[in-house]
Amino acid sequence: MSEAFDLVLRGGTLVNQDGIGLGDIGVRDGRIAAIGALGQAPAGRIVDCAGLHLLPGVIDTQVHFREPGATHKEDLETGSRAAVAGGVTAVFEMPNTTPLTTDDAALADKLARARHRMFCDFAFWVGGTRNNAPAIPDLERLPGAAGIKVFMGSSTGSLLVEDDEGVAAILRQTRRRAAFHSEDEFRLRERLGERVPGDPASHPVWRDVAVALRCTERLVGIARSARARIHVLHVSTADEMAFLARHKDLASVEVTPHHLTLSADDYPRLGTRLQMNPPIRDAVHRGALWAGVTGGIADILGSDHAPHTLAEKAKPYPDSPSGMTGVQTLVPIMLDHVAAGRMSLQRFVDMTSAGPARLFNIAGKGRMAVGYDADITVVDLKRRETIRDGWIASRSQWTPHDGRAVTGWPVGTVVRGRLVMWEGEILGGASGEAVRFLEALQD
Ligand code: DOR
């Protein structure tokens, strides 16, 4: 075979839709041009992947990169450095920035800021509000829009549609799958007194199971009447997992590495660093989320990377903001669960590549196939590392997993054929482009 490739990833173990096996990947013009035994085919660059596993690029569909508005915590560039340092090739970024991403001008502004300043590919969620509901058919189909995101309970920022009528007005307009932060604002308001000053362990008492379950029940009812598809972000309770199992025809489910890894037992050790919405709960819920992963109720993993500075986190609860970094630790934390036998490597790929592509109709990503974008996450399943704050590329520079020893590590990140990270080093310039979606293909 004498075809020339721009890049050949040689001799790795490919984890693909047809199984797991040794093979080479040849890349030309940013796309996968050949898969298989490529022999000595000429290539601009050959990367020896012997002993490593090659996964379809990991897509993190829930990150908060804070730009514009709170760039002392993160910006699109630093957030994307963290992403590729952790093996993530594309992110969907959330609309609770300042200004909010709720109209075409704000989306266009983010896209312009992101292009060739981000190291990974990107799409942006557009916040659904009472005011922009009539414009949703146009907004959700703009190039670079991941879809519509609604906060039904208040979290960081001012986006909020707490009532059934407001949510129905949005879901009557959406044709794409809309994403929801599902916590019942009315119950949250009633229970404000449950917060114990100085004690973040009271966070899951305030934002209790019923806060999450009631909202998710309401949301599914509204979606069914509106005949809309919904995506329930960061499901955190056994109760919602059991409920959503009966509604998989219209509802997809995200779980996060932090809800699968940490538990309420960690509040004494981590304090406000563990404070997150929806909260980290006791281990019974964590076990049920794992049952949702192995049983297939959960569709995808998202990190909900929500950085705040350590100075902000040092404020006494409840003045401390909710959120933690996560985009860089998603792959190593979950590979460690793979190493421990809690999930298979194929299921990991299903939840981070094929799953996002299936739920959100991503064009040309989500599997390793000829003609698809050459987005590859290269991992060493045997490598033992200890996650440290000092490794975190986010501007906020900390992780709740500081000190955690893991088996399995991202060693390379390829975005549309460009090697952007290898062995921890960020290589070359930022070349991130907007993710393309079937609903918004322009050419
Ligand atoms: O804890 C959270 N922080 N949950 C969210 O939904 C928002 C996020 C943030 O933006 O800080």
Pocket test for ligand 1, best of 65, 72, 73, 96 (most atoms within 8 A of CB): 96
Strand partners, 268: none
Among 197, 346, 326, 208, CA closest to 258: 326
Other C-beta atoms lying within 10 Å of the C-beta of residue 37: 12
Helix axes of 209-226 and 164-171: crossing angle, nearest 10 degrees: 40
Per-residue tokens: 247: 């509604």
Q: Do residues 14 and 145 both lie within one domain?
A: no
Examine the pLDDT at 3 and tell me if it is beyond 80.
no
* Sign of the torsion angle spanned by Cα atoms 61, 393, 279, 310: negative
Average pLDDT, the chain: 97
Other C-beta atoms lying within 10 Å of the C-beta of residue 194: 14
Per-residue tokens: 95: 């609309």
Among 253, 422, 257, 420, CA closest to 332: 257
Three-state DSSP at 285 gives: helix
Is 441 inside a domain boundary?
no
Q: Do residues 118 and 221 both lie within one domain?
A: yes
Q: Do residues 82 and 207 both lie within one domain?
A: yes
Region 102-123: mean pLDDT is 98
Q: Do residues 325 and 409 both lie within one domain?
A: no
Is 442 inside a domain boundary?
no
Q: Do residues 37 and 118 both lie within one domain?
A: no
Q: Do residues 47 and 155 both lie within one domain?
A: no
Q: Do residues 113 and 222 both lie within one domain?
A: yes
Is 260 inside a domain boundary?
yes
Rg of the chain (C-alpha set): 21
Strand partners, 426: 421
Region of residue 425 (left: phi > 0; alpha: psi -120 to 50; beta: else): beta
- In the chain, the number of structural domains is 2
Q: Note the pLDDT tens digit of each residue in 337-364.
A: 999 999 999 999 999 999 999 999 999 9
Examine the pLDDT at 166 and tell me if it is beyond 60.
yes
Q: Are strands 230-232 and 178-181 parallel, antiparallel or unpaired?
A: parallel
Examine the pLDDT at 305 and tell me if it is beyond 80.
yes
Q: What is the predicted pLDDT for the residue at 440?
A: 82
Q: How far apart are CA 389 and CA 105, in angstroms?
A: 36
Q: Is 277 near ligand 1, meaning CB less than 6 Å away?
A: yes
Q: Do residues 12 and 155 both lie within one domain?
A: no
Examine the pLDDT at 1 and tell me if it is beyond 50.
no
Question: Which residues does the annotation mark as catalytic?
Answer: 304
Among 185, 124, 123, CA closest to 151: 185
Examine the pLDDT at 177 and tell me if it is beyond 70.
yes
Q: Do residues 287 and 375 both lie within one domain?
A: no
Q: Do residues 279 and 258 both lie within one domain?
A: yes
H or E element in which residue 330 lies: helix 330-339
| Residue 408 belongs to domain with CATH number | 2.30.40.10
Examine the pLDDT at 297 and tell me if it is beyond 60.
yes
Among 279, 285, 286, 213, CA closest to 243: 213
Other C-beta atoms lying within 10 Å of the C-beta of residue 225: 12
Examine the pLDDT at 416 and tell me if it is beyond 90.
yes
Is 93 inside a domain boundary?
yes
Is 227 inside a domain boundary?
yes
Is 435 inside a domain boundary?
no
Taking the CA of residue 322 as reference, the ligand 1 atom at the shortest distance is 1
Q: Per the omega criterion (within 30 degrees of 0), is the bond before 95 cis?
A: no
For a pLDDT cut of 90, what percent of the chain falls above it? 96
Both ends of the chain: CA-CA distance in Å?
32
Q: Do residues 152 and 287 both lie within one domain?
A: yes
Is 22 inside a domain boundary?
yes
* Sign of the torsion angle spanned by Cα atoms 275, 276, 282, 286: negative
Region 212-235: mean pLDDT is 98
Question: From the DSSP assignment, how many helices (H) and strands (E) are in the chain?
Answer: 15, 17
Q: Note the pLDDT tens digit of each residue in 232-269.
A: 999 999 999 999 999 999 999 999 999 999 999 999 99
Region 157-166: mean pLDDT is 94
Q: Is 324 near ligand 1, meaning CB less than 6 Å away?
A: no
| Residue 216 belongs to domain with CATH number | 3.20.20.140
Q: What is the predicted pLDDT for the residue at 442?
A: 65
Examine the pLDDT at 2 and tell me if it is beyond 80.
no
Taking the CA of residue 151 as reference, the ligand 1 atom at the shortest distance is 6
Full residue range of the structural domain in which residue 243 is found: 57-360
Q: How far apart are CA 410 and CA 383, in angstroms?
A: 9
Is 437 inside a domain boundary?
no
Pocket test for ligand 1, best of 61, 304, 305, 327 (most atoms within 8 A of CB): 304
pLDDT band at 158 (very low <50, low <70, confident <90, very high): confident
Region 28-57: mean pLDDT is 96
pLDDT band at 156 (very low <50, low <70, confident <90, very high): confident
Q: Per the omega criterion (within 30 degrees of 0), is the bond before 332 cis?
A: no
Examine the pLDDT at 110 and tell me if it is beyond 70.
yes
For a pLDDT cut of 70, what percent of the chain falls above it? 99
pLDDT band at 145 (very low <50, low <70, confident <90, very high): very high
Q: What is the predicted pLDDT for the residue at 16?
A: 93
Region 213-228: mean pLDDT is 98
Q: Note the pLDDT tens digit of each residue in 432-442.
A: 999 999 988 76
Q: Note the pLDDT tens digit of each residue in 195-204.
A: 999 999 999 9
Q: Do residues 344 and 380 both lie within one domain?
A: no
Taking the CA of residue 94 as reference, the ligand 1 atom at the shortest distance is 10
Residue 289 burial (C-beta neighbours within 10 Å; 0-12, 13-18, 19+): buried
